[in-house]
A and B are shown apart, each in its own frame.
Chain A
Amino acid sequence: MHYFISPVLWQFLVKWLTHFELFPPEASSIAPYADALYFFLVFISIIGMVAVAALVVGFSVVYRQERHPVATQIEGSTLLEATWTIIPLALFMICFVWGALLYFRIYNPPTNALDMYVVGKQWMWKIEHPGGQHEIDALHVPIGRPVQLTMISQDVFHSFSIPAFRVKREVIPGRYTTVWFTATKPGRYHLFCTQYCGTLHSQMIGWVYAMTPDDYQKWLASSTSGSSLAQNGERLFASLGCNSCHSGEASARGPNLAAVYGTRIQLANGSYTTVNDAFLRNAILNPAVNVTAGYAPIMPTYQGQISEDGLIDLVEYIKHLHNNERVQQTLNTTQVQSSVPAPGAGSIAQPQTSHSASRMVNQ
């Protein structure tokens, strides 16, 4: 065959055919469900297309002017109108219900999911594991275990998409969004930013590495940065002086934060809210509108003072704060930290450290 066409073209064709995909890999527990709905939709589309094409082509042949010179005027038919209203409506309703079930499956995370955090910024993905492992434009996950990503953007809208897992979620400035999946097949899969985010939008890509649990443990051990997110958060908590009010003591000016995560609290305006990642982040940045009932609105805003990474550290710290012992301990830790700056402590936290430490000494 290749004798008849130019060798360059031949090589090009060969390269194409070896690098050619028509269907994405199914590599998550959700993918088979998404594909099932996809094939159903393709099926009804084919039925719809065939029906329309058959009618148009069939009538065009049978009633073309040469064969049928005299048109018969027909007003319409209520029965037929009802038929082609109800049948498409019924099919579309099936698509709606099926699609809704799939949506809830994709966006309602299981409770035992492994937490990871994603910060999107122009034009990279920063992924933080609870153990303190950081990755840029790469995400290592174990297979067979649900993973939940809590995501936020530092600048513009991004969108976190893993086609092989059939999941995607917008990454928005100023609010957490989440997405979860269970990878099923070890391998390397595309990670895309799918929301247009500026000049290098098409470079905001990376790889997701789905690994067997053993490999994942090895990877975790080899990539550790020395301190977990919660530990980073603890340092930040102390350096910002949070514990001067949130000391956990009965006379404290701020509410007790131990074991507050996941509970339902009443706000000063009378409404109730569940303490989750988004609430904690909001309460730090906009304390005035998130005052816990029974406390004075004296907390200053930390808007612009803590990076998104730092906020994630704080949230992770509070999430894992089960008793007030650690809040008390941070005093000591901070004093140690202020003399020996910890590696990996947020740069924003640094200038505050000496200030808060000296305040604590004065107390």
Chain B
Amino acid sequence: MSTIVSLPDQSTATLPKRTYINNEYGLKSWLLTGDHKRIAILYLISITFFFFIGGAMAGLIRLELLTPQTDLVAADTYNKLFTMHGIIMIFLFLVPSVPATIGNFLIPIMVGAKDLAFPKINLLSWYLYIVGGGLVLAALICGGVDTGWTFTTPLSTHYLNTHVITAGMAIFVAGFSSIFTGLNFIVTIHRMRAPGMTWFRLPLFVWSHYAASILMVLGTPVLAITLVLVILERTIGIGVFDPTKGGDPLLFQHLFWFYSHPAVYIMILPGMGVISEVISTFSRKRVFGYTAVAFSSVAIAVFGFFVWAHHMFIMGVSNYSALVFSLLTMLVAVPSAIKIFNWAATLYKGSITFETPMLYAFGFMGLFTIGGLTGVFLGSLGMDIHLTETYFVVAHFHFVMVGGMLMAFLAGVHFWWPKMTGRMYPEGLSKLAAGTTFIGFILTFFPQFIVGYLGMPRRYAAYPPEFQVLNVLSTAGASVLGIGYLLPILYLTWSLKYGKIAGNNPWQATGLEWQIQSPPLTENFVETPVVDYEAYDYEWLANKTKHEVQTVG
């Protein structure tokens, strides 16, 4: 019933001779690769690029809000900044963040396969992402878009002369990248599991990606169609959303949020998968209530499809549909609570260490709990009337998306960095970064709850002077947060050459990915693994290690 885990001696570890990185050389070998690991790296580089563009815009937004007047940038520029910030961060960073990078790298290995089911579609999805990203950059360079990332009609169709069509096309194309990733994951998880890898032996990371993939495949086409309708309305005036032609502008809201609410779960579910792996590994304990955590992912995916109208409580939807959607919103909060409590219970009687991924995971739990609970404020009908469209909403979704998802992404990147690159990140510096991010985050977004309850509307370039103190706090926090995000890119790049060599299993984790060399072979496994143990079985790992020591020694 008990296991003692001691981390392996890394001083004797060496880099393997042949890995997926040095299997082939040259730019062409990367750009035409079918290897899911290489595609994951391509994604990692591209999303990091877009993250820093989106982040720079966030920095400018916060600087503008330092004073109540529009003095740093004009109102138009401000509107373009928050629009591009939203589009880039959501469609080009958060949606692909964990699935397309860490998920792409790990899902085939975790299920014991050589690659994803459709390697070429996987590469195509990256190219579509790049085309989408390129179109966003084109829109940005040509003068920007100021619709807000929500593309609200009729503002986006009739009242703006910015590059709405380019941005709409960008999201349309990037959407297909996400659909293909989801499709690939679903088929891989169904069809390519290694012998003995039953559904309930899958790591929870795979379960949460499976749930997110279903959302991607079923939800994203609706967004694509909606954007096509916006483009058609803008170009040839088909009048689906135009009330003077018998259209209904609220229809757009329904269609847009039918994707964009599940999109929140597309973003957060893979992050939850990372947290399950990290918490289990660093407490050396099986995740408490494995089935409950697995099914809560599925429950979130299912309920997540039926809550979209909670974005429209004040828009004159019928009282009865408001009631139903509020009730369902409350229900979708429950599986998230279940996950949080199960992670907390995983720590019970564990043997806990506090490496960087674990610190990020703790950060996730704290910030996501606040983000989730403030979601209950907004799901509660009468409260939503006062809070919606204010900074309370901004704070809420940044707690979930940035506090939750970005923390999870960084936890995952640090956790699997040794596997991806074969080298360790510097522990001290990365702990500092984790702490800085957490403090900076709280300082940035907590004041926004207060200023939101005061009634400060979102997307305001200028605001009444009594809100200034809280906005200055927020801007101060953003600069701390910025340092917290810059640090990892610096030391992770540094570690590529100078990091300590990691060895196969530096954390003594149980997943299949840790039983192979780091960085892995192009084929992942020398021979197809046969799985005869449950997920997070630390006794199996201890016995295996003992056995290895005996045979080698």
Contact = CB atoms under 8 A, between A and B. Distances in A.
Do A and B come together as binding partners? Answer: yes
Interface of A: 16-17, 19-24, 33-34, 37-38, 41, 44-45, 48-49, 52-53, 55-56, 59-60, 63-65, 68-77, 80-81, 84-85, 88-89, 92-93, 95-96, 98-107, 122, 155-157, 159, 161, 163-164, 166-170, 172-175, 177, 190, 192-203, 205, 286, 303-304
A17 B470 CA distance: 11
B519 to A, nearest CB: 28
Contact of A38 (B337, B377, B457, B458): B377
A175 B455 CA distance: 25
Contacts of A201: 75, 79, 459-461
Contacts of A168: 314, 385-386, 388-389
B455 A45 contact: no
Contacts of B4: 69-70
Given A103-B382, A161-B389, A192-B455, A70 B326 contact: no
A177 B249 CA distance: 14
For the complex, would chain B's binding face be called helix, strand, loop or mixed by DSSP majority? helix
A45 B345 CA distance: 19
A131 to B, nearest CB: 27
Nearest to B248: A174
A182 to B, nearest CB: 15
Interface stretch (B147-155, B209-217, B412-420): B147-155
Contacts of A203: 75, 462
Interface stretch (B168-176, B281-289, B433-441): B281-289
Contact of A166 (B246, B292, B379, B386): B386
Contacts of B334: 85, 88-89, 92
B259 interface: no
B238 interface: no
Nearest to B250: A172
A55 B347 contact: yes
Q: Kindly list the 9 A-B residue pairs having the minimum CB-CB distance in the complex, ordered from nearest.
A: A102-B382, A163-B455, A174-B243, A99-B380, A103-B381, A59-B347, A76-B289, A194-B389, A202-B460
A64 B386 CA distance: 44
B27 interface: no
Contacts of B155: 156-157, 196-198
A183 B9 CA distance: 72
Given A76-B289, A194-B457, A103 B159 contact: no
Given A65-B352, A192-B455, A20 B338 contact: no
Contact of B366 (A24, A53, A205): A53
27 contacts: A16-B472, A21-B466, A41-B383, A52-B344, A52-B365, A56-B365, A63-B351, A64-B353, A71-B350, A81-B289, A84-B337, A92-B331, A92-B333, A96-B380, A99-B380, A102-B385, A103-B313, A103-B319, A156-B154, A157-B249, A169-B314, A170-B314, A193-B457, A196-B152, A201-B75, A202-B457, A203-B462
A202 B76 CA distance: 11
Contacts of B350: 59, 63, 68, 71
A84 B450 CA distance: 29
A37 B382 contact: yes
Of the listed residues B374, B466, B539, the one surrounded by the most CB atoms of chain A closer than 10 A to its CB is: B466
B468 interface: yes
Nearest to A289: B246
B351 A105 contact: no
B517 to A, nearest CB: 26
B44 to A, nearest CB: 29
A24 B454 contact: yes
B500 to A, nearest CB: 20
A192 B467 CA distance: 14
B455 A190 contact: yes
A349 B67 CA distance: 46
Contacts of A74: 285-286, 288, 348-349
Given A52-B369, A92-B333, A168-B388, A59 B348 contact: yes
Contacts of A65: 351-353
A172 B327 contact: no
A196 B389 CA distance: 9
A349 B226 CA distance: 38
A73 B1 CA distance: 6
A175 B148 CA distance: 23
B383 A37 contact: yes
B340 A52 contact: yes
Given A95-B380, A99-B326, A107-B319, A198 B160 contact: yes
A60 B333 CA distance: 26
A227 B453 CA distance: 40
A174 B315 CA distance: 13
B159 A122 contact: yes
A102 B381 CA distance: 7
Contacts of A190: 455, 464
Nearest to B332: A92
B288 A98 contact: no
A287 B295 CA distance: 52
A74 B150 CA distance: 45
Given A68-B350, A173-B154, A73 B459 contact: no
A203 B69 CA distance: 11
B233 to A, nearest CB: 13
Contacts of A38: 377, 383, 386, 453
A89 B5 CA distance: 38
Nearest to B291: A76
B111 interface: no
Nearest to A48: B373
A23 B334 CA distance: 30
Nearest to B245: A303
B351 A172 contact: no
Interface in B134-152: 146, 148, 150, 152
Interface string B123-137: 000000000000000
B11 interface: no
Interface in B358-408: 362, 365-366, 369-370, 373-374, 376-377, 379-386, 388-390
